Structure 1
Amino acid sequence: MTPEALDLSTALRPRLPSPLQPVEDERFSRHGIRLLLKRDDLIHPELPGNKWRKLAPNLHAAAGRPLLTFGGAYSNHLRATAAAGRLLGFETIGVVRGDELASRPLNPSLTQCAADGMRLLFVDRATYRAKEDPQVLAEILRAVPGDVYVVPEGGSNALAAQSCAALGRELHHLADVVAVACGTGGTLAGLAAGLAPGLGAPPAEGRGSVIGFPVLKGGFLAGEIRALQEKAFGGRAGDWSLDDRFHFGGYARSAPALDAFADDFEARHQLPVERVYVAKMLYGLTTLVADGAFPPGTAVAAVITGQDASR
């Protein structure tokens, strides 16, 4: 199958552009801030949000070859990749961080991956950390016969960032500030580029800045995003920044305050709040508004990047 022969829009019928939903929330309105929800979670029921945007160009490039990718035991990316394989009829291999025996019985996320036909390869944490080393990757690939197409953790490569630029274009002139949760940084890299008028240039009249809320601790993500934008766009693109204060201890970590906030947001807006990424972004954004980070009259778009598959 050639990339041209794979028509994802016909095969999967994504909802694009995704809806932009104004919501009334007094925590924002009392500061003169208009809140918009960019409902990327509604793009596709099994490949929602940034998973669709990042996977679609890589599915074209794979052109029906087996696709190998990486993720943790609760990876939304692995689950979306496995679903794509089932829906489009190609083989998927998921390299999972952690010990296989300790991971069994499989959690609901990996159970769904396996049910969708994904072959799971468990590797120890040291090997997983070094997965981008060519020798380590070659060793992993020896366990997989044939020609496979490799997609990095979270789906974040240059193709994915270029694809996520469409998200920025969909929001162009509609929001002054865009907030997005960050795991590997691919969505932010493309989103900021799509909002920007040109490489390295600030948005016209201050519109279209992006705030990323990392869900992992460590403070390493800015360098990753800069490197990804260099590969995808030839240099830094757009006006973006990161706020590292709202990871709540790291990936998939939470706290009673975050859980209570997410429950309250769901009740206010009848919106299921995905807890690993979206809840932290919304919590951070609400905190910034309360702290007076934005002037009255600012339109803020919060990107709802995914669904909570565990609830």
Structure 2
Amino acid sequence: MNFSESYNQEITINHPNITLAVKREDLLHPLISGNKYRKLKYNLIQAKKESHNVLITFGGAFSNHILAVAAAGKEYGFKTVGVIRGEELHDLIDKNPTLQKAKSLGMVFEFVTREQYRNKYDAQYLEYLKAKYFNFYLIPEGGTNSLAIKGCEEILSTEDEAFDYICCAVGTGGTISGIINCSKPSQQVLGFPALKGDFLREDICNFATKSNWDLITAYHFGGYGKVSEDLIRFINTFYLRHKIPLDPIYTGKMVFGVMDLIANNYFPENAKILMIHTGGLQGIDGMNSILKQKKQLEINVNI
């Protein structure tokens, strides 16, 4: 897979002794964005190697992963199937920007109840998919598997060795695991979970090969998909100052957390901090549709 180069963009802050930069992984590809490109890279290579012609994966209504798989399938010659959590969404595709775009890229949907979704990896359901779609390659929800970790191990480059802290958002734990594995022993990797709870530590330990990491769990804003007016206002202000769009589900929360930690002197003097922008900007339209219905402050960035 060929992709555009990401680069580090320095951020000017009111702290003379702290160096802060953003790795613009969101610029890798317009639709297969950020960590999704990294996670899919070796999975697509493996699918081709095994002569599969269909990709099947799982996700929710506004899933970055669902859209990325649909776009990857279109670009690299695979049929794609998305198993979507929430059977009520079947009649709402045209009102959902993520599903609408995925459909336009050729993805076929299987809408299931939330109970069925919890059992999506059961042998019986997988047999149903096999009988219907035959020669498919299965990509897990969020894309995290050993091949995804391999791709995420390519996020950091030699120029990033100068940073003391590497910060990234955490969903399923795949991206941070890859970053941990390719980090230097002198670096500290900090993950900012978008979900409530500390259960991700065990998942990360299953893939990470080093111990130079920690999770900062205070910036989930209520849990996955939850936002506040303070977060939306921060994202809008950050864009006005730095011309970097942030998504409200992952990277926006991480950047908010890092800036708050800097303001509260969490990092030592002369620390050099690199924040990983993992993409996901397609989710802004979906979030804005929800915020508009609630008559709340919307995200105002250009993508």
> Is the structural similarity TM-score above 0.5?
yes
Asked if 1:124 is matched to 2:113, the reply is: yes
Q: Is the 8 A contact 1:168 1:192 kept in 2?
A: no
Aligned partner of 1:209 among 183, 188, 191? 188
Map 1:280-295 → 2, pairs under 5 A: 280-295=253-268
Q: Distance in 2 between matches of 1:23 and 1:299?
A: 11
Q: Which residue matches 2:207?
A: 228
| Stretch moving more, 84-93 or 180-189 | 84-93
Kindly provide the amino acid, as one letter, of the partner of residue 292 in structure 1.
N
Q: Aligned pair in 2 of structure 1 residues 174, 91: CA closer, same or farther (>3 Å)? A: same
Unaligned segments of structure 2, at least 5 residues:
286-303
Work out the CA distance in 1 between the residues paired with 2:224 and 2:131. 28
Q: Which residue of 2 aligns with 1:75?
A: 63
Deviation at 1:277, TM superposition (A): 0.8
Partner residue, 1:232: none
Q: Which residue in 1 is equivalent to 2:177?
A: 189
Asked if residue 40 in structure 1 is aligned to residue 19 in structure 2, the reply is: no
Alignment of 1:77-96 (within 5 A): 77-96=65-84
Partner of 1:244: 217
Q: Which moved more, 1:284-293 or 1:150-159?
A: 284-293
Indicate how the Cα distance of structure 1 residues 147 and 34 shifts in structure 2: closer, same or farther if over 3 A, else same.
same
Give the whole-Å Cα distance in 1 for the aligned partners of 2:201 and 2:72.
30
SS in 2 for 1:110: helix
What aligned pairs does 1:21-40 form with structure 2 within 5 A after superposition?
Answer: 21-26=9-14, 29-30=15-16, 32-40=17-25
The residue identity in structure 2 corresponding to 1:249 is: G
Give yes or no for contact 1:73–1:109 (8 Å, CA) kept in 2. yes
> Which residue of structure 1 lines up, in the alignment, with residue 54 of structure 2?
66
Distance in 2 of aligned mates of 1:223 and 1:34: 31
**Contact 1:24 / 1:35 at 8 angstroms: preserved in 2?**
yes
Alpha-carbon deviation of 1:143?
A: 5.9
Are residues 1:56 and 2:50 paired?
A: no
Matched, 1:149 2:137: yes
The equivalent residue for 2:244 is 271
CA RMSD of aligned residues (A): 1.7
- Cα deviation, residue 46, structure 1: 1.7
CA 1:215–1:101 in 2, change beyond 3 Å: closer, same or farther? closer
Check whether the contact 2:61–2:89 (CA below 8 A) recurs between aligned residues: no
Q: Distance between the aligned counterparts of 1:239 and 1:36, measured in 2? A: 20
Cα deviations by residue, 1:38-96 (Å, 9 ceiling, x for unpaired)? 01011111212101100011010111521101111000011011011111221011111
Q: Quickly say closer, same or farther: Cα 1:297–1:58, change in 2 above 3 A.
A: same
Q: Distance in 2 between matches of 1:307 and 1:184?
A: 14
Q: In the aligned structure 2, how far is the partner of 1:102 from the partner of 1:84?
A: 23
- What is the number of equivalent residue pairs in this alignment? 280
Hey, what's the Cα distance between the residues in 1 that align with 2:161 and 2:211?
Answer: 14
Taking the aligned partners of 1:156 and 1:223, their CA distance within structure 2 comes to 14
Q: Deviations over 1:165-194 (max 9, x none)?
A: 111345541210011001111000001100
